[in-house]
Amino acid sequence: MPCRIGRLTMHPMTTTNARVSSRGQTSLPAELRRRWGISDGGEVGFIDLGDAALIVPGGVQAARAELRRVLRERYELGVEAIEDPDLADQHP
């Protein structure tokens, strides 16, 4: 059952393996395609994180926006956790 946290909907974690073809192609699991509303010709964006990749429905622009959102959220939580009055006004 999905869990809603702010604007984020967390679904039970789906884990699966996929094989990469000799042409470098793989398939997006059907469960994710259905949940994300991706049909034939739909786009996903990939962001290389070094040792991993972030895959987001909607293409590269959507992937970049999601990465910015997550980083901004994590930054704000980190600043809130610092108990230093000199940094209290550092929220974006």
Residue pair 62/36 in contact by the 8 Å Cβ criterion:
no
Residue pair 51/31 in contact by the 8 Å Cβ criterion:
no
Looking at the chain, the whole-number percentage of residues with pLDDT higher than 70 is: 76
The reported pTM is 0.56
Residue-wise pLDDT for 82-92, tens only, equals 777 776 666 55
65-70 mean pLDDT? 84
Residue pair 60/44 in contact by the 8 Å Cβ criterion:
no
Residue pair 14/29 in contact by the 8 Å Cβ criterion:
yes
Quote the pLDDT of residue 11: 59
63 CB neighbour count, 10 Å cutoff: 20
Q: Which segment of 8-17, 55-64, 75-84 scores lowest on mean pLDDT?
A: 8-17
3-87: CATH architecture = Ribbon (2.10)
| 3-state SS assignment for residue 67 | helix
The pLDDT confidence band at residue 49, using thresholds 50, 70 and 90, is confident
